[in-house]
Amino acid sequence: MTTHLYFDSLVVGEITAIESDFPLFNGEFQLIPHPEDEMALRIAQYIDLCVRQDTYYSEALTEEQEEESETEDETALNLAEEENKFLDLINSNSWKTVDEEGRTARILTPMFGINNSISWKLNFE
């Protein structure tokens, strides 16, 4: 079953292999590029940031280090600073999923990760 991810009326991508541990959902994500659309480009940049954050924090968890290096602290700060550029997307109520049967679910901002992963929660507001 394929579900589409939307931001307002923009189709952002397709979600497959969906698993649920209510209220958390996750699956595999495939971006649908819209190179001519400014919002689509911003969303693609946000997705790239999420993947870089996931990669950084996953690697930090697997490495056994007694002290954090200055480079790690700087990287974490840079990622957090870059995230601030996307607060309009992060704080938006415009995210939704639409399944093959046309059922729509409002969701909180999805999180994108390594290996084309996506996670989201339903938006009950």
How many angstroms separate the CA atoms of 7 and 10, rounded? 5
Q: Which residues contact 83 (CB under 8 A, 6 or more apart)?
A: 49, 53, 90
Domain boundaries, the chain: 3-121
Measure the CA–CA gap between 18 and 29, rounded to whole angstroms.
10
Cα 102 to Cα 31: distance, rounded to the nearest angstrom? 20
pLDDT at site 66? 41
Q: Which residues of the chain have pLDDT under 50?
A: 66
pLDDT at 125: 80
Query: What pTM was estimated for this model as a whole?
Result: 0.87
What per-residue confidence (pLDDT) applies to 48? 97
Question: What pLDDT sits at residue 121?
Answer: 96
pLDDT of 84 = 97
117: tokens are 């992963």
What is the predicted pLDDT for the residue at 19?
95
Kind plus residue range of the DSSP H or E element containing 84:
none
